[in-house]
Amino acid sequence: MQKNDLGKDKYRAMIEALGEGVLLVTKKHRIALSNKSAEELLSWASPLVGKDIEKIFDDSTLSDAIDSVFKEKERKKIKITSYHSYTGDRAIIRGKGREKHYKSYITSLDDKHVVVTIMDVTRIERLAIVRQDFVSNVSHELKTPLTAISGFAETLLDDSLSREEMKGFARIIQKNSAHMQRIISDLLLLTSLDRSEMATSMVVTTDERILSEVRSYTQYKAESRNIEVEYASTGKSLICNESLIVQAVVNLVVNAISYSPENTKVTVRTKAKGGIMEFIVSDRGSGIAEENISRIFERFYRVDKARSRESGGTGLGLSIVRHIAIIHNGTIKAESKLGEGSVFTLSIPIS
Ligand SMILES: Nc1ncnc2c1ncn2[C@@H]1O[C@H](COP(=O)(O)OP(=O)(O)OP(=O)(O)O)[C@@H](O)[C@H]1O
Ligand SMILES: [Mg+2]
């Protein structure tokens, strides 16, 4: 490219077009120039030009870095965390979820100016944390049954055990390996739902068929807890990935059964309205406190870890339901009153 055959306006337009925020900052920390991305990234409604850097960022990380670049003329890379969000000029909203992370480069331009580039890395950082949590949760969940398996296998090697004792230990090993297998197959299902591999196999079916499948998978569990499950369907057709919708409703019904006292009633009914099919599962069980409702769809989240684990729960069931709803362009909603019961509604488009 030949030098100088681009006019000033074109350079200006190029800077405006960048996805990264660009600021030109003076020795006194005043912004001399900014592009649109900078204003968007910093959620700043009024023009940034003329403002002090200190007014925009909570701490002095950027100002200190600017000073040192003026002094040493060497490019610097920093991370900035901001807890503020500005509307208009001054109003500051503080609170959870408002935290923002930026990656910033400060480069010396001339004696009076440095160039500051800003990238919003909030999402990337959040994903990294989710991934770390996920790995640590998976390891923890698999470690518990594995410890039992290896412990009881070791005990089995003891020659002095009676045949009955040996059988008892083998059963524990069997139960724990079945639990591990379930965790792994749930995780594999979640991964394949993430990639929406299964979204393609849509078929025409009816809500009646879906509920009858659900009943066959859950009847044993309902009987073992003496819970009567009442089914009511419309008989209407719908297009969906049948086995996934069955799986989602099974997860809801198994929860309703597991988190209800014996001898109570669970109802499973469907409603078709406005092109939407709703699968509604209600129980008269323990209910879920308000503050936990928004979290129960997270992977591995359990309100009462001890109780859920006792019933073999891992905390993956509802996150699977949520994924199945998403790949059908549907929704999942939970309503609950502590001590009175819960209603879960899975809604998906009929066609
Ligand atoms: N119908 C319900 N009544 C009361 N609490 C519920 C109900 N359904 C879910 N919960 C709560 O939400 C948590 C998460 O449910 P989820 O189905 O995701 O996991 P889980 O049942 O513990 O394990 P998994 O389904 O993987 O076997 C449960 O541990 C339980 O605390
Ligand atoms: Mg469950």
- The DSSP string of 25-70 is EETTSBEEEE-HHHHHHTT--S--TT-BHHHHSSSSHHHHHHHHHH
- Nearest atom in ligand 1 to 344's CA: 1
Compute the distance from residue 164 Cα to the ligand 2 centre, in Å.
33
Separation of alpha carbons 70 and 113, rounded Å: 8
- Nearest atom in ligand 1 to 285's CA: 3
93, pLDDT greater than 70? no
Give kind and range of the element (H or E) at residue 223: helix 207-224
Using one digit for the tens of pLDDT, what is the confidence trace for 108-161? 999 999 999 999 998 898 888 888 888 998 999 999 999 999 999 999 998 899
Compute the distance from residue 191 Cα to the ligand 1 centre, in Å.
20
- Nearest atom in ligand 1 to 304's CA: 31
Average pLDDT over residues 273-298: 94
Output the CATH code of domain 8-120.
3.30.450.20
Pick from 302, 309, 324 the residue to mutate for probing ligand 1's pocket: most ligand atoms within 8 Å of its CB: 302
Residue 59 or residue 28, greater confidence: 28
Using one digit for the tens of pLDDT, what is the confidence trace for 191-221? 888 776 655 688 999 999 999 999 999 999 9
Residue nearest to atom 25 of ligand 1 (CA): 317
- Nearest atom in ligand 1 to 315's CA: 19
Residues lining ligand 1, Cβ inside 6 A? 251, 255-256, 259, 283, 285-288, 296, 301-304, 308, 313-319, 342
pLDDT at 91: 37
Residue nearest to atom 4 of ligand 1 (CA): 287
Ligand at minimal distance from the CA of 227 is 1
As a dihedral over the C-alpha atoms of residue 214, residue 216, residue 221, residue 225, rounded to 10 degrees, the angle is 100
Instruction: Tokens 């965790």: give the residue.
Output: 183
C-beta of residue 205 within 8 angstroms of C-beta of residue 240: yes
100, pLDDT greater than 90? no
Residue nearest to atom 31 of ligand 1 (CA): 303
Residue nearest to atom 19 of ligand 1 (CA): 315
Helix (H, G, I), strand (E, B) or coil at 161: coil
Q: Which of 57, 62, 67, 99 is CA-nearest to residue 78?
A: 62
Compute the distance from residue 249 Cα to the ligand 2 centre, in Å.
11
pLDDT at 58: 74
CATH, domain 123-195, list 1.10.10.10, 3.40.640.10, 3.40.50.11540, 1.10.287.130: 1.10.287.130
What global pTM score does this model have?
A: 0.75
Residue nearest to atom 1 of ligand 1 (CA): 256
Pick from 179, 186, 299, 308 the residue to mutate for probing ligand 1's pocket: most ligand atoms within 8 Å of its CB: 308
Q: Alpha carbon 21 to chain centroid distance?
A: 28
- Nearest atom in ligand 1 to 317's CA: 25
Compute the distance from residue 229 Cα to the ligand 2 centre, in Å.
17
Q: Return the domain boundaries, the chain.
A: 8-120, 123-195, 198-351
Tell which phi-psi region holds residue 10, choosing left (phi > 0), alpha (psi between -120 and 50) or beta: alpha
To 10 degrees, what angle do helices 317-327 and 163-194 make? 30
Residue 83 or residue 237, greater confidence: 237
Distances (CA, A) of 63 to 70, 104, 237, 332: 11, 12, 63, 46
Compute the distance from residue 243 Cα to the ligand 2 centre, in Å.
17
Separation of alpha carbons 253 and 223, rounded Å: 13
Mean pLDDT over the full length of the chain: 89
Is domain 198-351 annotated with CATH 3.30.565.10? Answer: yes
- Nearest atom in ligand 1 to 320's CA: 18
Instruction: Tokens 């209600």: give the residue.
Output: 282
pLDDT at 20: 95
